[in-house]
Amino acid sequence: MIVLGIESSCDETAAALVRDDGLVLSDVVSSQVALHAPFGGVVPELASRAHLQNIAPVIAEALQVGGLPLSAVDAIAVTNGPGLVGALLVGVQTAKAMAMACNLPLVGVNHLIGHLLSGFLHRPGETHTQPELPFIALLASGGHTALYEVRSASDVEQLGQTRDDAAGEAFDKAAKLLGLGYPGGPRIDRLAALGKPGSVVLPRPLRRKDSLEFSFSGLKTAVAQHVAKHGKPQDEQALADLCASFQEVVVETLVDKALAACEARGVGRLIITGGVAANRGLRARAQQRCRERGIALHVPPPQACTDNAAMIAYAGACRLVRGENDGHALDVFSRSPILGAAPGSVASRRYRSSRLPR
């Protein structure tokens, strides 16, 4: 089965052709970073307009790169949430129109599920080791930071999430405070490699050992207070030291919680995905700590970690193989329910507390 995937949840317009075994035939992404950079973050209305302009050319390019006509596509998968509603509607309405015109099955994909299954993607010529189920997944991006136990493509349980800012959001806000521009994560990562971690004392957020929840707003506030007291570092080394200290706290928090989840669930496999998974400091620290604990670590290539349509196509293929088809009743949603629990249920409240067993 060949699935055309479409992604437009935030500020990337993407399309991809993927086989149901995870082989990526094409993966095209049109980024809006330059459009939103002057504003220090994503402007929803501008994002929607850019998706309208880009989506048809991006889909055409995905088909061209994949070397296949639209008639060779067996089904369409599209992100229908969570994300910016206006942006999501561009992708979903386009997918509906194509599915109707070509009489193709159509499935909606939860953007988070796409990230969690990104480790199953592989490209022609690559040596690929498929992740073994079940595994613990750390999803860290600009909009989401959470831990999951993934038992299958249709059996995912959320273990803990951030109470406030996502990890990627904290990187962007800290970079803005330091005048580094947008997006902040790659800039802080580059500077952190030149600095001395721990040279600036910053708080370790939510260090409770009985919780798998995250919190990064206090860390952002600590950086703001440091800048208010000392000013923006004018010396290049001082700036690198502050970035290294900030990144160390974020990385240690993410890795500590992820390993705690592995231990609590008795699962010896960890996948890290989402845009923050491209951070070199996080990759290096996770590899070191997992090696010490005897935990198998899998981190997809950077292009599979950031928002893309290949992961959406594969997650959609998993639904299609199960015989699912949303058809033209498919709608969008801005916020995702807790995965693995019905909203408002006792189980949902239990997952939200994210307490480890005593």
Of residues 129 and 170, which shows the higher confidence score? Answer: 170
8 A C-beta contact, residue 91 and residue 30: no
Query: Alpha-carbon torsion 273, 277, 282, 287, what sign?
Result: positive
In whole angstroms, what is the distance from residue 240 CA to residue 98 CA? 49
Residue entry with tokens 């992604």: 7
Of residues 142, 144, 183, the one with CA closest to residue 40: 183
> Which stretch of 12-16, 86-90, 351-355 has the lowest confidence by average pLDDT?
351-355
Task: Give the H/E segment covering residue 15.
Answer: strand 12-19
pLDDT over 90, % of the chain: 84
Packing angle of the helix pair 167-177, 236-265 (nearest 10 deg):
170
pLDDT tens for 234-285 read: 899 999 999 999 999 999 999 999 999 999 999 999 999 999 999 999 999 9
For the residues of 137-166, what is the DSSP string, one character each? EEEE-SS-EEEEEEEETTEEEEEEEBSS--
Instruction: With a cut of 60, say whether residue 345 has pLDDT above it.
Output: no
Tokens of 290: 């997992």
Q: Which fold has domain 2-121+304-337?
A: Nucleotidyltransferase; domain 5 (3.30.420)
How many residues appear in the chain? Answer: 358
- Site of tokens 């994560």: 185
Q: Cα(first)–Cα(last) distance of the chain, in Å?
A: 46
DSSP assignment of 72-133: G--EEEEEEESS-HHHHHHHHHHHHHHHHHHT--EEEEEHHHHHHTGGG-B-TT----PPPS
pLDDT for 92-117, tens place per residue?
A: 999 999 999 999 999 999 999 999 99
Cβ-contact 162, 214 below 8 angstroms? yes
Confidence at 348, pLDDT banded by 50, 70, 90: very low
Cα separation, 147 vs 331, whole angstroms: 26
d(CA 12, CA 234): 34
Local structure of 109: helix, strand or coil: strand
pLDDT of 193 higher than 80:
yes
How far apart CA 181 and CA 173 sit, in angstroms, is 9
pLDDT tens digits, one per residue of 122-168: 999 887 788 999 999 999 998 899 999 999 999 999 999 999 999 99
Number of Cβ atoms within 10 Å of the Cβ of 176: 17
Among 182, 173, 179, 299, residue whose Cα is nearest residue 246: 173
Decide: helix, strand or coil at residue 195: coil
Residue ranges, CATH 3.30.420.40, the chain: 2-121+304-337, 135-299
At 340 the pLDDT is 66
Domain 135-299 has CATH 3.30.450.20: no
- Compute the distance between CA of residue 285 and CA of residue 308 in angstroms, rounded to an integer: 25
Best CA proximity match to 307, nearest among 178, 186, 144: 144
